Chain A
Amino acid sequence: MKRKFITIIAVLGLAFSVSFGSAQAAEVRIGFIAPMTGIFAQIGKDMSNGFKMYMAHTKNKMGPLDVKFILEDSTGKPAVNVRKALKLIKRDKVHMFIGGLLASTGYALAPVANRFKTPYISPVPAADDLTQRKLFKHFLRSGFTSSQNSHPLGEWAYDQGYRNVVTIGADYAFGYETVGGFHKAFEARGGKVVKKIWAKLGTKDFGPYLPQIPKDADAIFTLMVGPMSLAFPKQFRAAGFKMPMLGGVTSADEFILPSMGDEALGYVTAAQYSAALATDKNKAFVKEYQQRYGKMASYYSETCYTTGQWVDLALKKIGYKPDNKDAFLKAFKAIRIDAIRGPVYLDKYGNPVQNSYIRKVTRVKGDRLGLGVKSNSLWNLVIKTYPAVGQFWKWSDKDFLKDPVYSKKFPPCPHCK
């Protein structure tokens, strides 16, 4: 009897302490959706590690608020992303959610955010139209749009003297938008795209596509994703092509670079970040990331780290009241952040305006970059910086938005044989 009594007291005491505990500390609940299993697991880890590293720097706090970080596994499928977002909103009552990987995920999550009036911050999904023609009030972007960095690369390619360029891209939205951006900017300067090839997503053997590449083109622009990025340069060079390779960010990003070999040397890609960026901020970031997680920092980790910083700043601006979502959205959009990748702010459509780096794959001996990596490894050295590049490049937003979103049919290819 006595024992039972003590147990009851103990349980009640525990219950009280728990309820007091939760009432006491103000907290901000942040949902994070990233693939932790399945074929994109490593990218998901890079993403969440980036965010966690920021939380480690602030000791799991944003100002006075405790951060409740809830990580959900999306397995990389848009439908699962939506399910997890609903769980985060309804059961965990998050103040905002961050994440997603593929462009299609962005399109799937934005309406969910609007319906439940919960801000959704997209660090990676780069679908153009989410900040162009299909705007959602509760959608925020801290990453980039697919075509954003290809526009300057198109201009850069023309300046190098390339006149006839062939493109090969993965056959889906991210591919159309990245290749489309390059195409439009390159032809606007006076270059000619002589052939556009679309390779099935997940192509392993490029045998069917390689013979179609004209041998006399000045350069090739590629947009490869995942394992395609590894296989393509190897098979391309093995087939005897000597022309320079240009590409979208995923063709040679830091995620794939450590597995690449000499065939990737000289690959020029454009992105808003490079792990070899020669700023003190970036050096410290890459060094620490390497120590913590044993990996080269990638744009996935950088963008998620920056997102954490950004949310913190936005909360500070509204006096750390995360329940006021409209104010949060407004504050988030108004912030100018000095991020690891460089200065960033959002345009009126909610898309980041930031530096665009033209990067060249180079083998760096020893620790010449001062990044704490000693081996004889490949790096994306920045060879030119285009400052403050927005999603509309040199066109006005009105002119740009008159055209449809980049697709297989747009821009049209008048010089294609």
Chain B
Amino acid sequence: MTTLSFANILVLSYNSLSYAAILFLLASGLSLIFGVMRIVNLAHAAFFLFAGYLALEFYNIIFGSLSLMPRIIQLVSWALLYFAWRGLTLYIAPKHAALALLLAYIVMEVLCSLIWSFRFFELFFPHVPVKPVDRINFPGMMAAIVVALTIAALCGMFIERFFLRLLGQDTLAQVLVTIGFAFILQDGSLYTWGGDNFMLKQPWPLNFSAVVGGLSLPQYRGFMIVIAVVVAAALFLGIERTRLGAIMRAAVDDPEMARGIGINTNVVQMSIFAIGALLAATGGVVGGAFFGVYPGLDFEILPYAFAVVIIGGLGSLGGAVLGSIVVGFIENFGTALFPELSYFALFAPMAIILAIKPTGLFGKG
């Protein structure tokens, strides 16, 4: 056991809060989706990681090599192939259409390799070199964040609309589908970006540490805390104080009644899922400049998100705030004081809280 000086306690508290900030961004989305839709979204942390990669990608697009371009070319090529097939089969038998496409492919392949010394099939399976960028500025980071968040939210909407909605309330199927998407996002990222470890660059005003009374407090940690506070406030106000929030709550409390008075609960659910993905993505982008972006990060951080929502209570925003602060502090102080027992220090209090109050501190049951 180590003893801590007062200064160390202050720094540790600051670190705990910043860690809690990231956990909150991740766990609030998880909690929201569960509270509204009763879906345990195991793909949640995958959004966290995926958004980190996307932000990195758009850094690269803004400042460096375009490595998403081959992916886009690939998509377009496959789409063109599909439409060519559709078009041809309208006029001739599938057998002949296949033959025609094959012939066309061979001709293209020969032409490409002879004239441009380029392999035609690479359009369909492009090789992507990824180069990290050296410099980054604040507007660039913001732009990358916005793009990454939008794509992640769209992904969330897609999964909800075309997969989860079809499953109704079948919990087992939901778990399987979400974990399936976790793997798809994970391996898709591995395929696209390779297994190298990346780190988002912290933009200029944030990569220093402020010295306050002899203590050096990294500014980026402060930035994480600020983002989390802003998001929490926006969520709270949005859900509790606005008409949209009222509609959401109505759709949660009694979906049938809500539909009866003309609320489109399907749209509500889809937006909730998108907001959840958006929150995870925010965490991923903000955390990506701190933890790094690498394969496996998603499943490393998911247990912590679950610890947060279980301690705080599933489906409660206040619970997510409190839960992430509790986990952040226990993780930091527990590891500093009893380095050998850090997992125990985190999950033992969780077990105790569950034993006393099975729904978590703020859980509605």
Q: Which residues of A contact B (CB under 8 A)?
A: 37-45, 171, 197-198, 200, 202, 204-205, 207-212, 226-227, 229-231, 234-235, 238-240, 255-256, 258-261, 294, 375-376
Residues B78-137 near A (CB distance < 8 A) = 127, 129, 131-132, 134
Closest B residue by C-beta to A293:
B129
The stretch of B152-160, B191-199, B257-265 in contact with A is B191-199
Q: Is B253 an interface residue (CB 8 A)?
A: no
Residue total for B at the interface (Cβ-Cβ under 8 A): 51
In the complex, what distance in Å separates the CA atom of A197 from the CA atom of B336? 10
Asked whether A259 and B195 contact (CB < 8 A) given A209-B336, A235-B290, A240-B216, the answer is no
| Cβ contact within 8 Å between B11 and A210 | yes
| Cβ contact within 8 Å between A204 and B300 | yes
Asked whether A208 and B218 contact (CB < 8 A) given A227-B297, A230-B292, the answer is no
How far is the CB of A252 from the nearest CB of chain B, in Å?
12
Q: Is B207 an interface residue (CB 8 A)?
A: yes
Chain B residues whose CB sits within 8 angstroms of the CB of A44 once the complex forms: 195
Chain B residues whose CB sits within 8 angstroms of the CB of A208 once the complex forms: 12, 15, 331-336, 342
Q: Which 3 residue pairs spanning A and B have beta carbons closest together?
A: A240-B216, A42-B195, A207-B15
Q: Which residue from B19, B218, B295, B333 sits with its C-beta under 8 Å from A41?
A: B295
Q: Is B211 an interface residue (CB 8 A)?
A: yes
Chain B residues whose CB sits within 8 angstroms of the CB of A40 once the complex forms: 195
Max count, chain A CB within 10 A of own CB: residue among B7, B197, B331: B197
* Beyond A205-B19, A238-B209, 10 extra complex contacts between A and B, CB < 8 Å: A38-B295, A39-B296, A44-B195, A200-B339, A207-B332, A227-B291, A227-B297, A230-B199, A239-B216, A294-B127
In the complex, what distance in Å separates the CA atom of A261 from the CA atom of B342? 30
Q: Is B344 an interface residue (CB 8 A)?
A: no
How far is the CB of B14 from the nearest CB of chain A, in Å?
8
**Would you give 10 A-B contacts (Cβ < 8 Å), ordered by A?**
A38-B295, A38-B296, A42-B195, A198-B339, A200-B339, A204-B301, A205-B332, A208-B336, A212-B8, A255-B196
Q: Which residue from A39, A42, A256 sits with its C-beta under 8 Å from B194?
A: A42
In the complex, what distance in Å separates the CA atom of A235 from the CA atom of B216? 12
Chain B residues whose CB sits within 8 angstroms of the CB of A255 once the complex forms: 196
In the complex, what distance in Å separates the CA atom of A209 from the CA atom of B15? 10
| Cβ contact within 8 Å between A226 and B197 | yes
How far is the CB of B223 from the nearest CB of chain A, in Å?
11
Q: Which residue from A41, A231, A259 sits with its C-beta under 8 Å from B190?
A: A41
Chain B residues whose CB sits within 8 angstroms of the CB of A212 once the complex forms: 2, 8, 336
Closest A residue by C-beta to B135:
A261
| Cβ contact within 8 Å between A204 and B291 | yes
| Cβ contact within 8 Å between B332 and A42 | no
How far is the CB of B207 from the nearest CB of chain A, in Å?
7
How far is the CB of B46 from the nearest CB of chain A, in Å?
14
Asked whether A376 and B134 contact (CB < 8 A) given A42-B194, A198-B339, A240-B216, the answer is yes
| Cβ contact within 8 Å between A227 and B290 | no
Q: Is B28 an interface residue (CB 8 A)?
A: no
Chain B residues whose CB sits within 8 angstroms of the CB of A256 once the complex forms: 197
Asked whether A230 and B339 contact (CB < 8 A) given A205-B19, A239-B218, A261-B134, the answer is no
Residues B333-364 near A (CB distance < 8 A) = 333-336, 339, 342
Chain A residues whose CB sits within 8 angstroms of the CB of B295 once the complex forms: 38-39, 41
Asked whether A230 and B197 contact (CB < 8 A) given A208-B15, A240-B216, A375-B131, the answer is yes
Asked whether A200 and B209 contact (CB < 8 A) given A212-B2, A258-B196, the answer is no
Chain A residues whose CB sits within 8 angstroms of the CB of B333 once the complex forms: 208
Residues B194-223 near A (CB distance < 8 A) = 194-199, 201-202, 207-209, 211, 216, 218-221
Q: Which residue from B11, B221, B334, B339 sits with its C-beta under 8 Å from A211?
A: B11
| Cβ contact within 8 Å between A209 and B218 | no
Contact with A along B289-319 (1 / 0, CB 8 A): 0111011110011000000000000000000
In the complex, what distance in Å separates the CA atom of A202 from the CA atom of B300? 8
Q: Which residue from B7, B197, B209, B334 sits with its C-beta under 8 Å from A239?
A: B209
How far is the CB of A91 from the nearest CB of chain B, in Å?
27
Q: Which residue from B15, B198, B219, B220 sits with its C-beta under 8 Å from A210?
A: B15
Chain A residues whose CB sits within 8 angstroms of the CB of B221 once the complex forms: 207, 238
Q: Is B18 an interface residue (CB 8 A)?
A: yes
How far is the CB of A26 from the nearest CB of chain B, in Å?
35
Chain B residues whose CB sits within 8 angstroms of the CB of A39 once the complex forms: 195, 294-296
In the complex, what distance in Å separates the CA atom of A198 from the CA atom of B197? 22
Chain A residues whose CB sits within 8 angstroms of the CB of B15 once the complex forms: 205, 207-208, 210-211
| Cβ contact within 8 Å between A234 and B199 | yes
| Cβ contact within 8 Å between B220 and A238 | yes
Chain A residues whose CB sits within 8 angstroms of the CB of B335 once the complex forms: 200, 208-209
How far is the CB of B125 from the nearest CB of chain A, in Å?
15
In the complex, what distance in Å separates the CA atom of A187 from the CA atom of B133? 40
Contact with A along B10-51 (1 / 0, CB 8 A): 011001101100000000000000000000000000000000
| Cβ contact within 8 Å between A204 and B292 | yes
Chain A residues whose CB sits within 8 angstroms of the CB of B2 once the complex forms: 212
How far is the CB of B118 from the nearest CB of chain A, in Å?
17
Closest B residue by C-beta to A258:
B132
Chain A residues whose CB sits within 8 angstroms of the CB of B290 once the complex forms: 204-205, 231, 234-235
| Cβ contact within 8 Å between B292 and A231 | yes
How far is the CB of A361 from the nearest CB of chain B, in Å?
14
In the complex, what distance in Å separates the CA atom of A256 from the CA atom of B132? 11
How far is the CB of B321 from the nearest CB of chain A, in Å?
19
How far is the CB of B3 from the nearest CB of chain A, in Å?
10
How far is the CB of B183 from the nearest CB of chain A, in Å?
11
| Cβ contact within 8 Å between B342 and A227 | no
| Cβ contact within 8 Å between A43 and B199 | no
Closest A residue by C-beta to B342:
A200
Asked whether A240 and B134 contact (CB < 8 A) given A202-B300, A207-B18, A230-B197, the answer is no
Chain B residues whose CB sits within 8 angstroms of the CB of A234 once the complex forms: 199, 202, 290
Chain A residues whose CB sits within 8 angstroms of the CB of B240 once the complex forms: none
Chain B residues whose CB sits within 8 angstroms of the CB of A238 once the complex forms: 202, 207-209, 218-221
Chain A residues whose CB sits within 8 angstroms of the CB of B220 once the complex forms: 238
In the complex, what distance in Å separates the CA atom of A83 from the CA atom of B216? 50
Closest A residue by C-beta to B12:
A211
| Cβ contact within 8 Å between B218 and A235 | yes
Closest B residue by C-beta to A203:
B335
In the complex, what distance in Å separates the CA atom of A202 from the CA atom of B343? 13
How far is the CB of B151 from the nearest CB of chain A, in Å?
22
Q: Is B256 an interface residue (CB 8 A)?
A: no
Closest A residue by C-beta to B23:
A205
In the complex, what distance in Å separates the CA atom of A259 from the CA atom of B293? 10
